[in-house]
Amino acid sequence: MLNQLQLTDLLLIDIETVPAQASFERLNASMQELWLDKISKIKPEIEIEPATVYLERASFYAEFGKIICISGGFFTGLSDTTNSGQPAKHYQLRLKAFAGDDEAIILREFFKVVEKMQTRPGFKFVGHNIQEFDIPYICRRAVILGIPLPDALQLYGKKPWEVPVVDTLHLWRFGDSRHYISLQLLTTVLDIPSPKEDLQGSEVARVYWEDHDLERIARYCQRDVVAVAQLLLRFQHKPLLQEGDIQYV
CATH label of the domain that carries residue 73: 3.30.420.10
Asked whether residue 2 is domain-assigned, the answer is no
Q: Is residue 46 part of a domain?
A: no
Q: What pTM value is reported for the model?
A: 0.92
| Integer Cα distance of 248 and 167 in angstroms | 23
How far apart CA 176 and CA 86 sit, in angstroms, is 39
The pLDDT, as a whole number, for residue 3 is: 73
In a domain, 151, yes or no: yes
Q: Would residue 58 count as lying in a domain?
A: no
Q: How many domains does the structure of the chain reveal?
A: 1
Within a domain: residue 59? no
Domain assignment of residue 51, yes or no: no
Concatenating the DSSP letter of every residue in 175-227 gives T-TT----HHHHHHHTT---S-SS--GGGHHHIIIII--HHHHHHHHHHHHHH
Each residue's pLDDT expressed in tens, for the chain with a length of 249 residues: 677 889 999 999 999 999 999 999 999 999 999 999 988 877 655 566 888 899 999 999 999 999 999 999 999 977 655 554 544 567 899 999 999 999 999 999 999 999 999 999 999 999 999 999 999 999 999 999 999 999 999 999 988 888 999 999 999 999 898 899 999 999 999 999 776 667 788 899 999 999 999 999 999 999 999 999 999 999 999 999 998 899 998
The CA distance from 225 to 127, in Å, is 7
Determine the structural domain holding residue 151 and report its residue range.
Answer: 7-20+64-248
- Helix (H) or strand (E) run with residue 13 in it: strand 10-19
Where do runs of H (alpha helix) occur along 14-153? Answer: 29-42, 50-57, 103-117, 135-144
Contacts 24+ apart (CB under 8 A), 26-35: 27/54, 31/64, 34/63, 35/64
